[in-house]
Amino acid sequence: ATVGGAIGGAAVLGHASAPILSGVLAFASAALLYLVTEELLTEAHETDDTNLHVIMFFAGFLFLYTLEGLR
């Protein structure tokens, strides 16, 4: 599965533009940060998450990362 994902990702994103690559990397980084926050920090489970919290987290991270890629 890992090798197949690497080959598929290289085929799909091999000739992508800088903003597209920035968006993909931003999403992957946000997903990893979210995983760490939700699964490894016990304080994160003291209150219930809403969909708005999750959406704003990913949207903010994607926005900032894409701005950095455009610079």
Helix axes 2-13, 18-35, angle to 10 degrees: 150
- Is the pTM of the predicted complex or chain greater than 0.75? no
pLDDT along the chain (71 residues), means of 10: 86 85 83 78 68 84 79 66
**Can you give the pLDDT at residue 70?**
72
Radius of gyration of the chain (CA): 15
**Can you give the pLDDT at residue 42?**
66
**Can you give the pLDDT at residue 43?**
66
Main-chain dihedrals φ then ψ at residue 41, nearest 5 degrees: -100, 120
Cβ atoms of 44 and 51 within 8 Å: the answer is no
Range 31-47 burial, b when 16+ CB lie within 10 A, else e: eeebeeeeeeeeeeeee
**Can you give the pLDDT at residue 60?**
85
